[in-house]
Amino acid sequence: METIRLYDTTLRDGSQSEDITFTVEDKIRIAHKLDELGMHYIEGGWPGSNPRDIEFFKRAGRVSFQQAKIAAFGSTRYPEKKVEDDPNIQHLLKAETAAVTIFGKSWDLHVREALSTNQDENLRMIADSLTYLKNHCGEVLFDAEHFFDGYKSNPEYAVKVIQEAEAAGADWVVLCDTNGGSLPSEITAIINAISGKVRVPLGIHTHNDSELAVANALAAVQAGARQVQGTINGIGERCGNANLISIIPNLRIKLGLGCVTDGQMRRLKEVSSFVDELANKAHWNHQPYVGQSAFAHKGGVHVSAIQKNRQTYEHIEPEIVGNQRRILVSDLSGKGNILYKAKEYGIDVNGNDPKVRKILDTLKNSEKLGYQYEGAEGSFELLMRDALGEKEVYFEFLGFRVIVEKRQGDAEPISEATVKIAVNGVQEVTAAEGTGPVNALDKAIKKALIKFYPELADVHLFDYKVRILDEKKGTRANIRVLIESGDKHKKWGTVGVSENIIEASWQALVDSIEYKLNAFEKKKDAL
Q: Which of 65-69, 105-109, 332-336 has the lowest mean pLDDT?
A: 332-336
CATH number of the structural domain spanning residue 423: 3.30.160
CATH number at residue 185: 3.20.20.70
Coil, strand or helix: which one is 82?
coil
Q: Please report whether residue 123 resides in a domain.
A: yes
129/147 same-domain check: yes
- 107 shares its domain with 182: yes
pLDDT surpasses 60 at 330: no
Is 525 a residue whose pLDDT tops 60? no
Quickly state the pLDDT bin for 420 (edges 50, 70, 90): very high
Question: Which secondary-structure segment (H or E) carries 190?
Answer: helix 184-194
Same domain, yes or no: 219 and 362: no
In this prediction, residues 461-483 reach a mean pLDDT of 81
Q: For the ranges 79-93, 175-189, 267-281, 331-345, which has the lowest average pLDDT?
A: 331-345
**Which amino acid is present at 354?**
P
Domain hosting 355: range is 346-388+460-527
Q: Based on the fold, state whether residues 406 and 489 are members of the same structural domain.
A: no
Does 488 lie in the same domain as 400? Answer: no
Residue 318 lies in a domain: no
pLDDT band at residue 15, thresholds of 50, 70 and 90?
very high
Euclidean distance between CA atoms 120 and 142, whole angstroms? 18
- Taking only the tens place, the pLDDT of each residue in 388-405 is 787 888 999 999 999 998
Region of 323 (left: φ > 0; alpha: ψ -120 to 50; beta: rest) is beta
Tell whether the model's pLDDT for residue 324 goes beyond 90. no
Greatest pairwise CA separation for the chain in angstroms = 92
Q: What is the mean pLDDT of residues 13-17?
A: 94
**What mean pLDDT do residues 21-36 have?**
93
Distance CA 146, CA 164 (A): 16
Q: What is the pLDDT of residue 383?
A: 82
Say if residue 523's pLDDT is above 60.
no
Residues 224 and 358 both lie in one domain? no
- Please indicate, yes or no, if residue 201 is contained in any of the structural domains: yes
Give the three-state DSSP class for 300: helix
Residue 195: DSSP 8-state? B
Across the range 70-95, mean pLDDT stands at 95
How much is the pLDDT for 527?
Answer: 46
* 21 domain-assigned: yes
CATH of the domain at 512: 3.30.160.340
For residue 32, the model assigns a pLDDT of 95
Do 468 and 434 lie in one domain? The reply is no
Residue 320 belongs to a domain:
no
Extended beta strands in 285-348, E state: 296-297, 326-327
Mean pLDDT score of the chain? 89
Instruction: Name the residue with higher pLDDT: 372 or 118.
Output: 118
Domain match, 351 and 473 both: yes
Report whether pLDDT(462) > 80. Answer: yes
pLDDT surpassing 70 at residue 258: yes
246 and 362 housed in the same domain: no
CA dist., res. 490 & res. 328, Å (int): 19
155-162 contacts at long range (C-beta below 8 A, 24 or more positions apart): 155/193, 157/106, 157/108, 157/119, 158/106, 158/107, 159/194, 159/197, 159/198, 160/123, 161/104, 161/105, 161/106, 161/122, 161/123, 161/126, 162/106, 162/194, 162/197, 162/198, 162/200
Task: Centre a 10 Å sphere on the Cβ of residue 16 and count the other Cβ atoms it contains.
Answer: 16
Q: How confident is the model at residue 347 (pLDDT cuts 50, 70, 90)?
A: low
User: Quick one: 507 and 410 in the same domain?
Assistant: no
- pLDDT at position 331 over 70: no
User: Could you tell me if 201 and 128 lie in one domain?
Assistant: yes
Domain boundary among 260, 279, 294: 260
One domain for residues 369 and 408: no
Of the three residues 260, 288, 305, the one that is the final residue of a domain is 260
The C-alpha atoms of residue 334 and residue 194 are separated, in whole angstroms, by: 55
The reply to whether the predicted model has a pTM over 0.75 is: no
For every residue of 100-141, DSSP letters joined together read EEEEEE-SHHHHHHTS-S-HHHHHHHHHHHHHHHHHH-SEEE
* Rounded Cα distance, 374 and 384, in Å: 14
421 located within any domain: yes
Pairing of strands 41-45, 396-405: unpaired
- Which range (44-48, 187-191, 230-234, 370-374) has the least confidence? 370-374
Total domain count, the chain? 3
250 located within any domain: yes
- 399 forms beta bridges with 420
Average pLDDT over residues 83-100: 95
Contacts of 162 (CB under 8 A, 6+ apart): 106, 142, 144, 147, 173, 175, 194, 197, 198, 200
Q: Where are the beta strands (DSSP E) in 164-254?
A: 172-177, 202-206, 227-230
pLDDT at 342: 66
In whole angstroms, what is the distance from residue 336 CA to residue 343 CA? 11
Question: DSSP string spanning 55-66?
Answer: HHHHHHTTS--S
Residue 108 has pLDDT above 70, yes or no: yes
CA distances from 518 to 314, 347, 381, 399, 522 (A): 33, 13, 10, 22, 6
For the segment 490-499, what is each residue's pLDDT rounded down to a tens digit? 888 899 999 8
Mean pLDDT of 233-262: 97
Share of the chain above pLDDT 70, in %: 92
d(CA 360, CA 482): 21
User: Is residue 296 assigned to a domain?
Assistant: no
